Structure 1
């Protein structure tokens, strides 16, 4: 008799269940027993499909970056690439706010059963932000930003966003209003430093805030 094949639907269900637990309760909630109960499988399913909790957490991290990429991809390009950059920044922040525990695990700031990002995870994170690179390149072509390496400029924006989001999720900023004020202020500083003009930045910010 041939060995029974693992059901791929169980693997997908485990990833979804783990992401759900992370989002609702944080890393301490993850256990093979609880995950198995959620998907109606045996505790061995985590080892069958992922080789253990570390492999499952890595799959969840990849799912998190996939969701972030999908959220950023919803920002359709317009005639104002700087408005697009601001909207991408808003989408990045909103995703982190909605999934704070998952965000922390994705970037290795919250430990789950010894998991830490590897080179493949980091490469996936960089790919996820390809939308930023494209918008930066368009802003340079439109002469809103000075000509430079678009990948470097996009990573500088990523650093700005990640730093702000990490402080916000850690509740180091006084209140949500303060976080929003800091967010816009940081974007202004970044855009000015990248070569845009103050009056045009304000117009792009106003346009972005009018968008639903």
Structure 2
């Protein structure tokens, strides 16, 4: 069965130990799939399957957004919009810490570097729309005040920054201190946004 790179979907996070300073992946790297979604005698797909190493990074980049969106969508909505937003942000934190290399590929370089096509724009937009919708529920309930898109950018940037600091062990020496600082940051932002100006 011949399979084009566009029809392949990465079913699990690639096994990568290092990323170059320029964000590149090792030239000899192969991507392993725990649950391949293509018919293949091997569960390993080399960078050549995506055209070149840059093509592989691009595929991993956009697949990451699909995986993150799917993960965040596992959390049910309740009647408390703020609690729902906080739960999803903590899930976002956990996902970034569990998939540090993928998160670095996704968030350490400009989106435009990858010249996204229609399918990839749709995939990345799904995550953005999901989070903005969570924030809009908070706005509609009077839990926060402001533009939902602006607030979503602030909250996501906060989570990504704190997760990066936590991954680098710069947020504290104990789980208790790290959790306390996460709570302080999220509460400070959300409580500040609760004040109508």
- 1:133: Cα distance to partner? 1.0
Query: With structure 1 as the length reference, what TM-score do the two structures score?
Result: 0.70
Shift of 1:7: 2.6
2:30 maps to 1:35: yes
Match of 2:14 among 20, 27, 30: 20
Q: Say whether the 8 Å CA contact 1:145–1:191 is kept in structure 2.
A: yes
Cα 1:167–1:41 shift into 2, 3 Å? closer
What does residue 86 of structure 2 align with? 86
* Bigger fraction of residues in helix: 1
Distance 1:37 1:135 in 2: 34
2:106 aligned partner: 106
In 2, Cα distance between equivalents of 1:37 and 1:133 = 33
Backbone CA RMSD of aligned residues: 3.5
> Contact 1:46 / 1:52 at 8 angstroms: preserved in 2?
yes
For residue 90 of structure 1, report the CA deviation from its aligned partner. 0.7
- Structure 1, gaps ≥5 residues long: 110-114, 198-212
* SS of corresponding position for 2:14: helix
Structure 2 gap ranges (5+): 34-40
Question: Per-residue CA shift, 1:12-71, capped at 9, x if unaligned?
Answer: 48x457x3312xx2336955545289984999x633x42201011110111111111011
Q: 1:194 — aligned with what?
A: 193
> How do 1:41-190 residues align onto structure 2 when only pairs under 5 Å count?
46-47=47-48, 49-108=49-108, 117-118=113-114, 120=116, 125=124, 127-146=126-145, 148-175=146-173, 176-190=175-189
For normalisation by structure 2, the TM-score amounts to 0.75
Q: 1:40 to 1:182 in 2, by over 3 A?
A: same
CA contact (8 A) 1:96 1:103 kept: yes
Alignment size in residue pairs = 181
Superposed CA offset, 1:63-93 (max 9, x none): 1111110111112211000000000111100
Q: 2:156 & 2:71 partners in 1: Cα distance?
A: 15
Structure 1: distance between partners of 2:3 and 2:140: 49
Identify the match of residue 6 of structure 1 among 2, 8, 14.
2
Question: How big is the shift at 1:8?
Answer: 4.9
Maintained 8 Å contact 2:14/2:32: no
Compare CA radii of gyration and give the structure with the larger one.
Answer: 1
